Amino acid sequence: MTAVADPMAASTGDTVPETVRRRRVLDQNWRELLKVGAILMVGQVFIALSGMPVSFDRRLIIDPILSLGYLSLLWLPLVVGYAVGREQALEGMMAYTKGGREVLAGAITGVLGNLGLTLLVVGITHFDIRDPLVNWSPQLLELLEFEQSVWFGALIWLGIGAATGAAGGGLHWVGARNRRTVITVIAAVSSAAVLESVITDLAQGFHIEAVANWLYAPKRGLTSPAAAVVAGATILAVNAISALRARAAHRLVSAAEASPTESGSTRGGRLSPRRLAGFALTVAAVIVLPLFLGRLTNELLANVGLFILLALGLNIIVGLAGILDLGYVAFFAVGGYSVAVLTSPGSPRFSPEMPWIGALFIAMLLAGLVGLFIGAPVIRMRGDYLAVVTLGFGEIIRILLLSDWLSGTFNGAQGIINIPGVEIFGLTTVRGFEPRSVLYLVLFFCAIAIYVSWRLENSRIGRAWMAIREDESVAEAMGVDTVSAKLMAFVTGAVLGSFSGAILSAKVGSIFPHSFAIIVSIVILVVVIFGGMGNIAGVIAGAAVLIGVLGGPNQPGLLQEFAEFKILIYGALLVWMMLQRSEGLIPSVRRARELHTDELNQDAWLRAQADEADDASNPGVLDGQGPRP
Amino acid sequence: MQLTAKQRTRVDWFLTILRVAALVLIGAGLVAFVAQVVDSNNPFARWANPDAINLTGRQFRDLVVAGLAQGAMYGLIALGYSMVYGVLGFINFAHGEVFMIGAVTGAITSSKLAEAGAWEDNFVLCLLLVVVLSMVVCTITAVIMERVAYRPLRGKPRLIPLITSIGVSFFLQNFILVLLGPGTKTYPRMPEWLTEKRTFLEIQGTRLLVLAAAAVAMVGLWYLVERTKTGKAMRAVAEDAEIASLMGIDVNRVIVKTFAVGGAMAGVAGILWGLLFNSVLHTAGFLPGIKAFSAAVVGGIGNLGGSMAGGLTIGVAESLGPLVILEPLGVSGPSQLRDAVAFSVLIIVLLVRPSGIFGERLPSEERT
Amino acid sequence: MSSPPMLEIAGLHVVFGGLHALSDLDFAVEEGEIVAVIGPNGAGKTTFFNVVSGMVKPTQGQIYFEGRSLLGLDPNKITARGIARTFQNVRLFANMTVLENVMVSQHCRTRQRMLDALLYTSRFRREEEQVRARGKEVLGFFGTRLTGYRFDQPASVLSYANRRRLEIARAMATSPKLLLLDEPVAGMNPVESAELTQLIGKLRDEMGYTIVLIEHDMSVVRDISDRVVVLDHGEAIARGTYAEVSADPQVIEAYLGRAADGN
Ligand SMILES: Nc1ncnc2c1ncn2[C@@H]1O[C@H](COP(=O)(O)OP(=O)(O)O)[C@@H](O)[C@H]1O
Ligand SMILES: [Mg+2]
CA atoms within 13 Å, Cβ hemisphere of B85: 29
Give chain B positions within 8 Å (CB) of C55: 368
Which chains does A contact via 3+ CB–CB distances below 8 A? Answer: B, C
Which one of C71, C85, C167 would you mutate to disrupt binding with B, by most B Cβ within 10 Å of its Cβ? C71
DSSP 8-state class, residue C112 = -
Q: Out of A267, A460, A477, name the one closest to residue C152 (CB).
A: A267
Query: Contacts of residue B6 in chain C, CB cutoff 8 Å?
Result: 72
Tell me if A26 sits within 8 A of B153, measured CB to CB.
no
Average pLDDT over residues B113-118: 88
pLDDT class of B3 with cuts at 50, 70, 90: very low
B281-285 mean pLDDT? 92
Cα–Cα distance for residue pair C18/C38, rounded to 1 Å: 23
A477–C76 CB contact, under 8 Å: yes
- Indicate yes or no: CB of B178 within 8 angstroms of CB of A568: yes
B205 close contact with A: CB closer than 8 A = no
The predicted pLDDT at position A270 comes to 58
The CA distance from B332 to A195, in Å, is 50
Q: Which residue has the higher pLDDT, A625 or C225?
A: C225
The string of pLDDT tens digits covering residues A74-110 is: 999 999 998 888 765 555 555 667 778 888 999 999 9
pLDDT at A65 over 90: no
Q: Do B178 and A574 touch (CB under 8 A)?
A: no
Cα–Cα distance between A310 and A267 in angstroms, integer?
Answer: 26
How much is the pLDDT for B42? Answer: 74
More confident site: C224 or B360 = C224
A488/C94 CB distance under 8 A: no
Test C77 with B5 for CB contact under 8 angstroms.
no
Query: Rounded to whole angstroms, how far apart are CA atoms B310 and B319?
Result: 14
> Which residues on C lie below 8 Å from A451 (Cβ)?
118
Lowest-pLDDT range, A421-435, A441-455, A535-549, B116-130? A421-435
Whether the predicted pLDDT of C50 surpasses 80 = yes
What's the pLDDT score for residue A627?
A: 35
- Cβ-defined contact of C117 to A478 (cutoff 8 Å): no
CA terminus-to-terminus distance, chain B = 28
How many whole angstroms separate alpha carbon B259 and alpha carbon B83? 8
* A585 vs A151, higher pLDDT: A151
- Which of A116-125, B3-12, B127-136, B295-304 shows the lowest mean pLDDT across its residues? B3-12
Task: Let me know how many helices (H) and strands (E) chain A has, helices first.
Answer: 25, 6
Residue range A499-519: average pLDDT?
92
Of C55, C76, C114, the CB nearest to A488: C114
Q: Is the Cα dihedral B61, B62, B68, B69 positive or negative?
A: positive
Mean pLDDT for the stretch of residues C234-262: 78
Long-range contacts of A144-149 (CB under 8 A, 24+ apart): A144/A48, A144/A53, A144/A117, A144/A120, A145/A121
Closest-CA distance of chain B to residue A377, Å = 6
Answer yes or no: is pLDDT of B25 > 70: yes
- Provide the CA B21 distance to its chain's centre, in angstroms: 27
Q: Which residues contact A288 (CB under 8 A, 6 or more apart)?
A: none
Do A399 and B336 lie within an 8 Å CB cutoff?
Answer: yes
Contact A574, B163 (CB under 8 A): yes
Distance from the C106 Cα atom to the nearest Cα atom in chain B, whole angstroms: 22
Give the phi and the psi of residue A253 in degrees, each rounded to 5: -65, -45
CA angle A142, A147, A152 (to 5 degrees): 100
- For A66, the 3-state DSSP assignment is strand
Domains in chain A, CATH or no CATH each? 1-173 (no CATH), 183-258+600-621 (no CATH), 294-587 (1.10.3470)
Alpha helices in A458-481 (DSSP H): 460-470, 472-477
Lowest mean pLDDT among A296-305, B7-16, C112-121, C206-215: B7-16
Tell me the chain B residues in contact with residue C15 when contact means C-beta distances shorter than 8 Å.
none
CB A379 to CB B11 under 8 A? yes
- Ligand 2 being an ion, which residues bring their Cβ within 5 A of it? C 46, 88
Q: Ligand 1 pocket: which residues have CB below 6 Å?
A: B 367; C 16, 19, 21, 39, 41-47
The closest CB to that of C117, out of A261, A264, A456, belongs to A456
What pLDDT is attached to residue B30?
Answer: 85
Instruction: Mention every residue, 6+ apart, whose C-beta is less than 8 A from residue C230.
Output: C37, C38, C39, C236, C237, C238, C239, C245, C248, C250, C251, C254
Of the candidate ranges A139-143, A206-210, B175-179, the one whose mean pLDDT is the lowest:
A206-210
| B368 vs C contacts (CB less than 8 Å) | 46, 50, 55, 87-89
Mean pLDDT for chain B overall: 85
Beta strand C210-214 with C178-182 is parallel
Mutate to test the pocket of ligand 1, among C14, C16, C56, C229 (most ligand atoms within 8 A of CB): C16
Q: Please tell me the predicted confidence (pLDDT) of residue A596.
A: 46
Give the Å distances, CA to CA, from A403 to A373, B286, B337. Answer: 21, 20, 7
pLDDT for A455: 92
User: In this structure, what are the phi and psi dihedrals at residue A96, rounded to the nearest 5 degrees?
Assistant: -120, 145
3-state secondary structure of A88: coil
**Residue A270 backbone phi and psi in degrees, to 5:** -105, 155
Q: Is A23 exposed, middle or buried (0-12, 13-18, 19+ CB in 10 A)?
A: middle
- Listing DSSP states for A347-379 in one string gives -SS------HHHHHHHHHHHHHHHHHHHHHHHT
Distance CA C205, CA C199 (A): 10
Whether pLDDT at A257 is above 90: no
A564-621 pLDDT per residue, tens: 899 999 999 999 988 886 554 444 444 444 444 444 455 445 544 444 444 333 333 3
Q: Is the pLDDT of residue C35 over 80?
A: yes
Tell me the per-residue pLDDT of B51-94, one tens digit each, with 9 for 90 and over: 767 777 778 888 898 999 999 999 999 999 998 888 888 899 99
Position A39 scores a pLDDT of 94
Question: Does B344 reach chain A within 8 Å, measured CB to CB?
Answer: yes
Q: What would the pLDDT profile of A359-398 be if each residue is shown by its tens digit? A: 999 999 999 999 999 998 888 888 888 998 999 999 999 9
Instruction: Provide the terminal-to-terminal Cα distance of chain C, rounded to the nearest Å.
Output: 43
Among the bound ligands, name the one nearest to the CA of residue C38: 1
Is A27 or C50 the better-scoring residue by pLDDT? C50
What is the signed CA dihedral for A193, A199, A203, A208, rounded to 10 degrees?
-30
CATH code at B55-352:
1.10.3470
- Taking CA atoms only, the protein residue closest to ligand 1 atom 6 is C16
Share of chain B above pLDDT 70, in %: 92
Cα A174 to Cα A169: distance, rounded to the nearest angstrom: 10
> Out of A388, A404, A582, whose CB is closest to B333?
A404
**CA of residue C235 to ligand 1 center, whole Å:** 13
Among B278, B331, B314, B258, smallest CA distance to B88 is for B258
pLDDT above 70: percentage of residues in chain C: 96
Is the model's pLDDT at A278 over the cut of 90?
Answer: no
Nearest to B280 by CA among B95, B93, B106, B74: B106
User: What are C178's strand-pairing partners?
Assistant: C83, C210
Is the CB of residue B310 less than 8 Å from the CB of residue B356?
yes
Q: Which helix (H) or strand (E) holds A60?
A: strand A60-62
pLDDT of the residue at A88: 58
CA atoms within a 13 Å half-sphere pointing along the CA-CB vector of A377: 27
Domain range summary for chain B, segments of one domain joined by +: 55-352
pLDDT at residue A432 is higher than 80? no
Give the residue, C21 or A220, on which the prediction is more confident.
Answer: C21
Q: Is C8 helix (H, G, I), strand (E, B) or coil?
A: strand
What domains are there in chain C, each with its CATH number? 7-89+162-262 (3.40.50.300)
User: Does A626 have pLDDT greater than 70?
Assistant: no
Reported confidence tier of residue B305, pLDDT bands at 50, 70, 90: confident
Size (chain B), residues: 368
Does residue C76 belong to the interface with chain B, where contact is any CB pair within 8 Å? no
- Which residues are CB-contacts of A5 (< 8 A; sequence separation ≥ 6)? A610, A614, A618, A621
